[in-house]
Structure 1
Amino acid sequence: MRVVLVASAAAAAVSLPTVAFAVEYQTADVAARRMFPDADAFDARAVTPDAAVLRQLDAQNARGSSREWTVRVARHGGALLGYVVVDRTIGKAEAIDFAVALTPDGTVKAVEILAYRESYGHEIRLPSWRKQFVGKTAAAPMRIGDDIANISGATLSCTHVTEAIRRIVAMVTLMRRAEALPT
C-alpha cells in the first residue's frame, strides 16, 4: 500500500476515494413474503390519511413526514392475514427504508430493514433489535429508553425508526377504524 501525504484539504478531497455505505438488503416484495410466508396474494394500495386521521396522528404525537403509505394487504385463500407497510425515515443523515408487518388487529408481527445508508448503526438490522417491536400495538409507548433499547452509536437511527414504526402502527389502527383498510 502506498500512502501519499497531501498538503491541503482541497487536494485531499480530490485525491481520496469516496466511500459509500448504502446497502439494499431486500425489496419490499421480498420482505412482505418473508413476513407473511403463508400469503398467496398481496394487494398493494396507496393509503392517504384524511384530515381527521392526520389530526388524530398529531394528537398521538405520531405524525411524520409521510403523507401517503404503500400498504400491501396479505391474504391466504381470500382471508386477511395482515398488512405490510413500507416507509422511509432518516437515520442520522441518510434514509432508511423499512417494512412493518401488522396482524389484522394492528399488532406488530415483524419489522424488516430494506435499505440502510448510514456509515454507522447498521445493527438496527439485527433480529434482536427488530424483535423488540413484535407484539406492540398503538397503546405501547414505543420509545427509546422506555420499551425499546438503544444501540450505542446508532441513537438517531434507533430513535427515528422507532418513531416511524409508532406512526405506522397508529396510522393502521386509525385507518382500520375509519374502514379505509380491510378488516
Structure 2
Amino acid sequence: MLAPLSLTTLAAVSSSAFATQYLTVEQAQQSIFPEANHFNAQPLQLNTEQMKQVEKIAGVPARSVAWRTIAAYKDNTLLGYVVLDDVIGKFELISYAVGLLPDASVKQVEILTYRESHGFEIRNANWRRQFVGKTANTGLVVGEGIANISGATLSCTHVTDGVRRIAAIAQVTLKK
C-alpha cells in the first residue's frame, strides 16, 4: 500500500518543477542587439507624473517606479534598450526581456524563464515576432495585433500587457 503524500513531497512537485530557463540576461542582450559591442546598466526610476502618463498610454498600471534597463551601444552610438520584467502567467512568473529602439518601438521580445506547466508556446519565434515594430499606441493588444495561443491565453495576455507597459515607459522616458 502506498503511503499518503506529505506536504513536503507535494511542495516538491509544485508547478515550478516545469521551470525552463531559455536565456540569461546576457544572452538576451546579445540576441536582441547582436551588433552591440557594449551594454551599460541604466536603472530607470519613474516619478509620479511619469507613472500616470504610462498608465494613460498603456491602459494598465505602471506597477513599479523602478525598472531594470540596459542601454545597448555600438561604440558611442546608442542602439536601443533592453528592459527586463516579470509577469504572472496563470500561477507562476514569466521572465522576459523587451528590446526597444531609440524611437520607443519594439525591436524584439525574448522569454528568459517560463515556469508554467502550459502555455510555453509564447516562446515560439512566430508569436514573439508579432511585437516587432509596434509601439505602446499601435497593436499591442491580444486580438488587436497580437494573436492569442489556445491554451496560453493568460500567458499571451499578461506578456502582451507587460510589453505594452514597457513600450509606454520607453515612450515617456527613453524615446529620443
Q: TM-score, normalised by structure 1?
A: 0.87
Aligned to 2:130, the other structure's residue is in SS state: helix
**Residue among 125, 134, 137 paired with 2:135:** 137
Structure 1 residues 147-183: Cα deviation after superposition (integer angstroms, max 9, x where no partner): 1100111110100000000000000110035xxxxx4
Q: Distance in 1 between matches of 2:60 and 2:173?
A: 14
Aligned to 1:31, the other structure's residue is in SS state: helix
Structure 1 residues 106-126: Cα deviation after superposition (integer angstroms, max 9, x where no partner): 111110000000000000000
Q: Distance in 2 between matches of 1:141 and 1:54?
A: 21
1:25 aligns with 2:22: yes
Larger Rg: 1
| AA at the equivalent of 1:108 | V
Check whether the contact 1:62–1:170 (CA below 8 A) recurs between aligned residues: no
The percent of aligned pairs where both chains have the same amino acid is: 45
Following superposition, the deviation at residue 62 of structure 1 comes to 3.3
Q: Distance in 2 between matches of 1:66 and 1:56?
A: 13
- Structure 1, unaligned runs of 5 or more: 178-182
- The match for 2:36 is 39
| AA at the equivalent of 1:163 | D
* Equivalences, count: 171
Q: Distance in 2 between matches of 1:120 and 1:74?
A: 33
Q: Which moved more, 1:126-135 or 1:138-147?
A: 138-147
Q: Distance in 2 between matches of 1:168 and 1:62?
A: 11
Q: Which moved more, 1:59-68 or 1:19-28?
A: 59-68
Check whether the contact 1:64–1:164 (CA below 8 A) recurs between aligned residues: no
CA RMSD of the aligned region, Å? 1.7
Q: TM-score, normalised by structure 2?
A: 0.90
Aligned to 1:93, the other structure's residue is in SS state: coil
